[in-house]
Structure 1
Amino acid sequence: MDQPDLTPLQNVRARIARAAAIAGRKADAIELIAISKTHSADRILPLIEEGQRVFGENRVQEAQAKWPALIAAHSDVKLHLVGQLQSNKAEEAVRLFDCIHSLDRPSLMVALAKAMDKAGRRVPCFLQVNIGDEEQKGGCAIAEVPALLASARAMALPVIGLMCVPPAGIEPAPFFALLAKIAADNGLSQLSMGMSDDFETAMMLGATHVRVGSALFGRRA
Structure 2
Amino acid sequence: MTIVDRLKAAEHAIAERARDCGRDPAEITLVCVSKTFPGEAVIPLLEAGHRVFGENKVQEARAKWGPLRERFPVELHLIGPLQSNKAREAVETFDVIESVDRPKIAEAIAAEIARQGRRPRLLVQVNTGEEPQKAGVRPQEADAFIKQCREQFGLEIAGLMCVPPVDQQASPHFALLAAIARRNGLKDLSMGMSADYELAIQLGATHVRIGSAIMGERDYSKG
Band the TM-score falls in, shorter-chain normalisation:
over 0.9
Query: Given the alignment, which residue of 71, 75, 80 partners 2:77?
Result: 80
Q: In 2, are the aligned partners of 1:131 and 1:141 still within 8 Å (CA)?
A: yes
Q: How many residues are matched?
A: 217
Query: Given the alignment, which residue of 62, 65, 89 partners 1:64?
Result: 62
Q: In 1, are the aligned partners of 2:143 and 2:180 still within 8 Å (CA)?
A: no
Task: Tell me the distance in 1 between the aligned counterparts of 2:82 and 2:38.
Answer: 21
Q: In 2, are the aligned partners of 1:84 and 1:102 still within 8 Å (CA)?
A: yes
Task: Tell me the distance in 1 between the aligned counterparts of 2:65 and 2:188.
Answer: 26
Task: Tell me the distance in 1 between the aligned counterparts of 2:180 and 2:71.
Answer: 40
Alignment match, 2:16:
18
Q: In 2, are the aligned partners of 1:123 and 1:158 still within 8 Å (CA)?
A: no
The CA deviation at 1:123 is 1.3
Q: Which amino acid aligns with 1:82?
A: I
Q: Secondary structure at the match of 2:69?
A: helix
Of stretches 80-89 and 155-164 in structure 1, the one that deviates more from structure 2 is: 155-164
Task: Tell me the distance in 2 between the aligned counterparts of 1:158 and 1:93.
Answer: 16
Q: Which amino acid aligns with 2:55?
A: E
Per-residue CA distance 1:11-44 (angstroms, 9 max, x = gap): 0001101110111011111011000000001101
Give matches, 1:170-185, under 5 Å. Answer: 170-185=168-183
Q: In 2, are the aligned partners of 1:130 and 1:139 still within 8 Å (CA)?
A: yes
Alignment match, 1:135:
132
The CA deviation at 1:134 is 0.5
Q: In 1, are the aligned partners of 2:54 and 2:76 still within 8 Å (CA)?
A: yes
Q: Which amino acid aligns with 2:180?
A: I
Alignment match, 1:107:
104
Q: Secondary structure at the match of 1:7?
A: helix
Q: Secondary structure at the match of 2:178?
A: helix
Per-residue CA distance 1:123-169 (angstroms, 9 max, x = gap): 11110000001011000011111111111112221210110000002
Q: Which amino acid aligns with 2:102?
A: R
Q: Which amino acid aligns with 1:151?
A: Q
Identical residues among aligned pairs (%): 49
Alignment match, 2:187:
189
Alignment match, 2:161:
163
Alignment match, 2:205:
207
The CA deviation at 1:52 is 0.6
**Structure 2 gap ranges (5+):** none
**Structure 1 gap ranges (5+):** none
Q: TM-score, normalised by structure 2?
A: 0.94
The CA deviation at 1:9 is 0.6
Alignment match, 2:214:
216
